[in-house]
Amino acid sequence: MARGYFIAGNWKMHKTRAEAAALARELVAALADGGHKYLVAPSFTALETVAALVRGSNILLGAQNCAVEEEGAHTGEVSVLQLKDLGVQTVILGHSERRHIYKEDDGLVNRKARLALKHGLDVILCVGELLEEREAGKAEAVCRQQTVEGLKGISAAELPRVTIAYEPVWAIGTGKTATPEDADAIHAYIRKVIGELYGSAAAESIVIQYGGSVKPDNAAALMAKENIDGALVGGASLRADTFVPIARF
């Protein structure tokens, strides 16, 4: 099955509602005839505003995280039910900032992924190694573990609603990009792991994004690689003049 490209912007903890609305308006206009699949993930506070602007466009609405429970006494958390109510279609889970700053482990990421899928949200599951893990030759092992553990209990029927984002932690927000060859090698490895878990057809069709300092000047070379099916973009997604050229690479 031919895989399409999927370009997503993670706005992280940036933008007021007015700023988010301005960017969403620009992207809707600039990508109206774009040929790929697109998503923006604003902060929770701007989701409702951006939802109204991207509705009916070719840009999907994503959230950057969700709670591990459906509802209850979880001060400060936001549930999948609340996200769905706002029109969110996809949730980013296991982002390295969640794993490393907020100490989310594979078990928690997996429970969130299963809950999101159960409630009809798609999932972008982020995996990626730290610099010291790469230098110790453990990049593949780390990505294998985060992929296997993250997907535990997720059925073959649900897998088409999961995108994997390979985001080497040392490349996120640092200006250091993995070379297209290094990234492609890990993508191929993750695809092999998916094949072991779900079979070769699933491995062929799963979309694997690259994330880590994707910019207008390196996007095309990354996307040209056989196993790279899109990008999860942080810094460069915050402005139309940097995100649009990536999205239209």
Q: Interface residues with ligand PEP (CB under 6 A)?
A: 10, 167, 172-173, 211-214, 232-236
Measured from the CB atom, the residue of 98 and 114 that comes closer to ligand PEP is 98
CB of 196 to ligand PEP, least distance (A): 26
Q: How far apart are CA 144 and CA 87, in angstroms?
A: 32
Which of 36, 95, 181, 196 is catalytic? The answer is 95
CB of 211 to ligand PEP, least distance (A): 3
Measured from the CB atom, the residue of 203 and 222 that comes closer to ligand PEP is 222
Q: Residue of minimal CB distance from ligand PEP?
A: 234
Task: Judge whether 167 counts as a catalytic residue.
Answer: yes
Task: Judge whether 95 counts as a catalytic residue.
Answer: yes
Which of 104, 129, 133, 167 is catalytic? The answer is 167
Measured from the CB atom, the residue of 150 and 234 that comes closer to ligand PEP is 234
CB of 167 to ligand PEP, least distance (A): 5
Q: Which residue, among 221, 229, 126, 208, has the nearest Cα to 169 in the 3D structure?
A: 126
Q: How far apart are CA 59 and CA 67, in angstroms?
A: 24
Looking at the chain, list the stretches that DSSP marks H as alpha helix, in order from N- to C-terminal side: 17-30, 47-54, 80-85, 96-100, 106-118, 131-135, 139-150, 180-198, 200-205, 219-223, 240-247
Q: How far apart are CA 9 and CA 76, in angstroms?
A: 24
Q: How far apart are CA 145 and CA 239, in angstroms?
A: 34
Active-site amino acid positions: 95, 167
